[in-house]
Chains A and B, each alone.
Chain A
Amino acid sequence: MPATISVERQMLPMLGSPNQGARFYNPDVPETEPFVPGHRTCAGCGPSIQYRLTSKASGDNTILIGPTGCMYVANSSYLCTPYNVPWAHTQIGSAGSFTAGVAAAYEAMIRKGKWKGPFPNIICEAGDGSASDIGIGSISGALYRNHDCLIICYDNEQYANTGIQASSRTPYGGMTTFSPPGPKVPEAKTLFPKDLARMMAAGHPHCYVATASVGYPIDLMNKVREGLNHRGAAFLMIYTPCQKGFVYETPRSIDLGRLVVECGLYPIWKWDPARREYDYSFRPDIMRPVAEYLKLQGRFGHLHAEHIATLQQFANQQLQMMNIELPEALVRAADPSTHRDMAAAEAATAIAHTV
């Protein structure tokens, strides 16, 4: 056999000012736009904001893989796709496997002299339906085998492009067309979300695993780069609100991206594969009760006091898992008597029939 050629890997620098989300101009942010405007996603689409940040962080030597989901259906219109880098659709259950195929191809082609250049950034953009349900096995396979790639779950907590159906990432109390509220099931979704990112970290401890939110763009972009720089597989789960499914005022996507972290419903952390431990050093500026996050969204408009308290208990548990001491106010907020029913239960029902 001919001598093999060694594979050159990219190493992307971290962005400065890893702030906690202030909206200010950061000169480090690359100008390149691998994901261009003009696509058909909804105004305020969280996954699209994430897509732009991710691809900016990754740069032009990138290949994107798009399993079926919003970022395929609403973005990849035939003959006018918004990707300035190679992009391929794959099946909703093939997120990890198709990505693994691309990574394996480049390993072999570079090694055998059939393709010349530094190993590309290979990024899979899977929705939470793909990542937490139908494609979870394929992603686990890719992480386990440690292909040099980054698999992102853009988590809008539901199947959105099919018309808002519950996924295993939909929160307790979240209304979807498959989990509507009614007299027998007043809280709508009765199950708590699958802790996907922790599953991936626990099951594949050699991988870089982290969570992020569109509310904290520099942190998000740095985690994309850390994941790409990591030699081997990486997994990111990113909170990306969906205006259509969450039913909120369009300009508030970034606000929600911050509130969900501040209230403890979306813990931000990273798993350090070298030290084999969680890094919980990320802290939001302030902490808030979950009601402040819930009340902005029509999908929670039907909740009764005890449901809000249940969600507060859940958020408190999440914060405690990160060794965060609970302020007295949050402990108190886990008591149903401190809440009132969301007033707009009837309004929420009306919304349920329009999504």
Chain B
Amino acid sequence: MATVLDKKKTVRINGCVASAQAAKYADVDVITAYPIRPYTATMMALAQMVANGELDAEYIVADSEHSQLSIAHGASSSGARVFTGSSGVGVQYAYELYSPISGSRMPVQMMIADRTLDPPGDFGSEHTEALSTRDMGWIMGWSCDSQEAFDNHLMAYRIGEDPRVLLPQMVCQDGFFVSHITSDCELPDPGQVKEFLPPYKHPYPLDPRHPVSHGPQIMPEQGPPLQLERARAMEGAAPVIEQVHEEFAKIFGRRYDAWIEEFMTDGAEVVFFMQGGHAVTARYAIRHMRERGAKVGLVRLRTIRPYPTDRVMQVLSKFKVVGVIETNMGLGSVSSGGSLYAEACAALYQANQRPIVVSFMAGMGGEAIVLKEFYWMTQKMLEAQKRGGIEKRTHWVGFEE
């Protein structure tokens, strides 16, 4: 471990700038940008770093998000460390590339600052765009403040580039609630990063001295083994993710549970299950309600792909009621609400003791989830506990008494 950490400093930055700082500390080789709010601020910060000579990287302004992701794919295939990102409809414009990138096992990193899809075309944060890509073979998780965003980016490179994994990563944060709200962020000494994150070395890059073919056409019977291999890479990432979080804690002194944050769950009977920045408000609300005697807590999912099924089962089955805060659209889905409900319920199906699970559509369209809404949702969970069953699967928060 580096003994002198004289370049370590604490700055007050927003999530977008924290992501840009992480890319700089990771000494990325190729950056590819296309403007869309709110993630744009990350690329603006990186453009300035390159212009100032603080970071030596090819900075490419692409002609679309589709091009952005295929530039990233080409550069990663050649052996370069790559950083890209997007928001909202931009994430979906690039959709075609997500499977080819994970299928060719290229550890491209993508920053996502969520934005609601069109319609309604607003600037607010909703997780739908990123979650719609959740089964494409990318490691995926949400940060809830700028420090966690910075840390998650560094850890994601380390995880994705591990030769046992070789998978791309989506490092997500809520648009505006994280991307544009400043908080204290400790920037490490470059020596710490050097110790934590070795240079990217793909085993089979496009190198004229060692010719390889990437992504050839296959016959149908050759498909299953390749798909199985990709599925196993995703499963095999789980122990690497845990190991990387452990090493991160040792080198940087900040310890995260790789999968789940539990907040005031001791003695809790009802809990929120959610991802991302609204958890910050949830913590305030929970403290306040605990003072008034409500046995409520928070379970925040930090990594949704690979999905920690057993862990979710083990944690959530301790409680009487689970309230899933969606912040995403799953039109016509299992709960007719969001897609997180199904993820929670499926994990709980094998549990000996299953809690009541109810889905809350809150933060939709990027609206803030305010304290009184957390109180209202807690009330609904306590009523369900008392009743011993749900009133209905999905509550649209703000549209009911």
Known: A1-B53, A72-B217. A97 touches B67 (CB 8 A): yes
Q: Which residue of B lies closest to A65 (CB)?
A: B74
Which residues of chain B come closer than 8 Å to A98, judged between CB atoms?
Answer: 70-71, 73-74, 77
Judged by a CB distance under 8 angstroms, whether A112 is at the interface is yes
Chain B 202-218 against A: per-residue CB contact (8 Å), 1 yes, 0 no? 00011111111111111
Q: Which residue of A lies closest to B204 (CB)?
A: A86
Indicate if the CB atoms of B79 and A109 lie closer than 8 Å. yes
Judged by a CB distance under 8 angstroms, whether B327 is at the interface is no
Q: How far is the CB of B118 from chain A (nearest CB, A)?
A: 20
Q: Which residue of B lies closest to A63 (CB)?
A: B206
Q: How far is the CB of B25 from chain A (nearest CB, A)?
A: 13
Chain A 230-273 against B: per-residue CB contact (8 Å), 1 yes, 0 no? 00000000000000000000000000000000000000000000
Interface residues on B, range: 35 or more
Count of chain A residues with a beta carbon within 8 Å of a chain B beta carbon? 50
- Which residues of chain B from 277 to 306 have any CB-CB distance to chain A below 8 Å in the complex? none
Q: How far is the CB of A261 from chain B (nearest CB, A)?
A: 32
A141 vs B54: C-alpha distance when bound (angstroms): 26
Judged by a CB distance under 8 angstroms, whether B394 is at the interface is no
Partner of A83 from the list B71, B73, B104, B213 (CB cut-off 8 Å) is: B213
Q: How far is the CB of A110 from chain B (nearest CB, A)?
A: 10
Indicate if the CB atoms of A117 and B71 lie closer than 8 Å. no
Indicate if the CB atoms of A107 and B74 lie closer than 8 Å. no
Indicate if the CB atoms of A108 and B57 lie closer than 8 Å. yes
Q: Which residue of B lies closest to A145 (CB)?
A: B60
- Which residues of chain A from 104 to 118 have any CB-CB distance to chain B below 8 Å in the complex? 104-109, 111-112, 114-115, 117
Which residues of chain B come closer than 8 Å to A86, judged between CB atoms?
Answer: 205-208, 210-214
Which residues of chain B come closer than 8 Å to A107, judged between CB atoms?
Answer: 58
Judged by a CB distance under 8 angstroms, whether B199 is at the interface is yes
Q: How far is the CB of B67 from chain A (nearest CB, A)?
A: 4
Which residues of chain B come closer than 8 Å to A73, judged between CB atoms?
Answer: 217
Which residues of chain B come closer than 8 Å to A77, judged between CB atoms?
Answer: 216-217
Which residues of chain B come closer than 8 Å to A90, judged between CB atoms?
Answer: 70, 73-74, 100, 215
Which residues of chain B come closer than 8 Å to A96, judged between CB atoms?
Answer: 67
Indicate if the CB atoms of B217 and A78 lie closer than 8 Å. yes
Known: A78-B219, A86-B211. A108 touches B74 (CB 8 A): no
Q: Which residue of A lies closest to B205 (CB)?
A: A86
Which residue, B70, B74, B214, has most C-beta atoms of chain A within 10 A?
A: B74
Known: A89-B214, A101-B30, A138-B63. A109 touches B208 (CB 8 A): no
Indicate if the CB atoms of A101 and B72 lie closer than 8 Å. yes
Indicate if the CB atoms of A141 and B199 lie closer than 8 Å. no
Indicate if the CB atoms of A101 and B64 lie closer than 8 Å. no
Indicate if the CB atoms of A102 and B70 lie closer than 8 Å. no
Partner of A106 from the list B60, B78, B211, B214 (CB cut-off 8 Å) is: B78
Which residues of chain B come closer than 8 Å to A316, judged between CB atoms?
Answer: none
Q: How far is the CB of B30 from chain A (nearest CB, A)?
A: 5
Interface on B for A, CB 8 Å cutoff? 29-30, 32, 53-58, 60-64, 66-68, 70-80, 82, 96-97, 100, 104, 199, 205-219, 222
Given A87-B214, A88-B213, A102-B78; 19 other pairs, CB 8 A cutoff:
A61-B208, A76-B215, A76-B216, A78-B222, A86-B212, A87-B206, A89-B215, A89-B217, A90-B74, A97-B74, A98-B74, A100-B71, A101-B72, A102-B77, A104-B30, A104-B58, A104-B80, A109-B29, A115-B79
